[in-house]
Amino acid sequence: MSISSKDIVPLNQVRAKFTELAEEVREGHEKIITRNGESYVALIDARRLDHYHQLEREHIHLTLLEEAKRGLDDVEAGRLLSVAETRAKYKKSKSR
């Protein structure tokens, strides 16, 4: 869903019409709350927030699976380091 200019609300107006804004958000119209003319916080439906968090968890899991696949591909291709080589590699990068 896209945000339009009517979905941008100054913080001082939020206090006066919070219930009305909350109802609009529940109907699917997310709001950007501004403070001193700058984006400050977003007002979104709690169900949508749950959905965003679920998507974030799924993205993390997919990223971990991709990393595991790359590791297995490296093992199959013989791209391996010994424990000593690994320690030396990361010891050098820490001293930078």
pLDDT digits (tens, 9 = 90+) for 50-79: 999 999 999 999 999 999 999 999 999 999
Give the helix/strand (H/E) hosting 70. Answer: helix 46-76
* CA pair distance 26, 32, nearest whole angstrom: 14
pTM above 0.75, yes or no: no
* CA pair distance 44, 46, nearest whole angstrom: 6
8: which strand partners?
A: 32
| Residue 57 near residue 45, CB atoms below 8 Å | no
**Residue with structure tokens 């919070």?**
18
The model's pLDDT over 15-47, given as tens digits with 9 standing for 90+, comes to 899 999 999 999 999 999 999 999 999 999 999
